[in-house]
């Protein structure tokens, strides 16, 4: 039997993405409390994500959303990592308020935010170990959050498009022209 890498690539990238999800899940969490949400976007949901990014660009006039939307369509899949908002009760003041109870509604617990960052780092390290290309995108994460691609209430969503091609599509990106 002869197997051609081109015929296997998509499945291999999906397997790497699943390993990235496991790495994110097992990453250390503040106070050992897991509030991380993780999902994998594939197939027909990739154009839906890119369309939402274009819509956000139209709303905000931020052109990099257009460039990033093109990148999403070049990816084999996208790993999403976000958090449920849950104050950890440390009254640490790291969020800018002296106590958890004194936080203004909508201000995230700093530990939740740090947990997302650590999970993203673990996922990207796994991708690097397995030699696939990635890029962390808050733009695609925002679009995924607006589309509800993670469970209700997930915040601070970051997206990691994944590719295995002869040229990294997430490097040397050209900005979209200004209007």
Could you state, in order of their start, the residue ranges of all structural domains in the chain?
19-163
β-bridge mates for residue 134, sequence order:
162
CATH number of 19-163: 3.40.109.10
pTM of the predicted model, to two decimals?
A: 0.93
pLDDT digits (tens), the chain, 179 positions: 999 999 999 999 999 999 999 999 999 999 999 999 999 999 999 999 999 999 999 999 999 999 999 999 999 999 999 999 888 889 999 999 999 999 988 888 999 999 999 999 999 999 999 999 999 999 999 999 999 999 978 999 999 999 999 888 888 877 766 54
Q: Which residues of 74-89 are buried (b: 16+ CB within 10 A; e: fewer)?
A: bbbbbbbbbbbbbbbe
Q: What is the pLDDT of residue 179?
A: 46
C-alpha dist (Å) from residue 92 to 31, 71, 95, 97: 13, 39, 8, 8
pLDDT (0 to 100) of residue 150: 96
| Residue-level pLDDT at 177 | 64
Q: Output the pLDDT for position 83.
A: 95
pLDDT recorded at residue 85 = 86
Using only the alpha carbons of the chain, give its radius of gyration: 17
Cα 81 to the center of its chain, rounded Å: 5
């Amino acid at each position: 039997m002869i197997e051609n890498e081109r015929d296997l690539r998509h499945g291999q990238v999906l397997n790497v993405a699943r390993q990235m999800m496991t790495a994110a899940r097992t990453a250390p969490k503040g106070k050992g409390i897991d509030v991380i949400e993780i999902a994998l976007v594939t197939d027909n949901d990739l154009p839906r994500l890119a369309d939402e990014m274009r819509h956000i660009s139209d709303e905000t006039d931020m052109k990099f959303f257009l460039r990033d939307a093109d990148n999403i369509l070049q990816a084999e899949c996208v790993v999403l990592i976000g958090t449920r908002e849950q104050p950890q009760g440390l009254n640490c003041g790291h969020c800018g308020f002296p106590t958890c109870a004194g936080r203004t509604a909508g201000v995230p617990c700093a530990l939740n935010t740090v947990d997302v960052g650590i999970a993203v780092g673990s996922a990207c390290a796994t991708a690097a170990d397995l030699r696939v290309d990635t890029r962390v995108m808050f733009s695609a994460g925002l679009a995924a959050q607006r589309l509800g691609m993670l469970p209700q209430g997930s915040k601070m969503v970051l997206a990691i498009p994944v590719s295995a091609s002869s040229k990294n599509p997430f490097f040397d990106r050209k900005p979209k022209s200004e209007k």
